[in-house]
Amino acid sequence: MAYNVPTFDVKKITLGPGTILLGPYNPTAAGGTPSVDVGAVQDNATIVVTRTVVPILQGVPRREIKAYVAREEMRVTFTGIEWNLTSLFRAVGGGAAPTLSGAATTWNFGADPLMTDVALQYQHVTADGGTVLLRLWKCRGSGELNITIPTDTLHSFAYTFVGVEGLSDWVNAGLPANGKLFQLVQTSFP
């Protein structure tokens, strides 16, 4: 008999990548679930939630009696390996709509003070056929785009999207007061 073995559910252990879907953010139109994936990506996507906590200290010696969250931030970062100009446009967060002339699609950037809102969904299928979904109701590109063009490996495109407080979910339903930034959904098969 082994000692110190924790209780676990192997159906909740998973590995491997997922699919990242981006779409326009449109809170007034039902059915706005992102449905276009960003294409081929390198191995890792990173999802970071940061809550800046302000402790309330009292007494001597000082001890924490309460804490409040003063800032909340959500970032999704991944690296694409396709020249997907739609994804590049969304990562920068602004620019002119593309123009099409024959086989050429032209994207223009610069001198745009507004940021473009998008919706993002990360979906991962587990080994047992379940899913894990991360939904950023509303987000924006970080405004920074890093394109690496090496001579001996794949070109790569580092993307970062920052969560923004949403008005509604993607079917125009209201969001709870403490659930306006993102949602995690896990489904599993018995």
pLDDT tens figures, 135-174: 999 999 998 888 899 999 999 999 999 999 988 888 888 8
The average confidence (pLDDT) of the chain is 88
Confidence label for 39 from pLDDT (cuts 50, 70 and 90):
confident
The pTM for the full model equals 0.86
**Looking up tokens 């990242």, which residue turns up?**
20
Torsional class of 32: left (φ above 0), alpha (ψ -120 to 50), beta (otherwise)? alpha
The answer to whether 141 touches 115, Cβ cutoff 8 Å, is: yes
Task: Please name which of 178, 125, 167 lies closest in space to residue 26, comparing C-alpha atoms.
Answer: 167
The Cα–Cα gap between 141 and 163 comes to 9
pLDDT for 29 equals 67
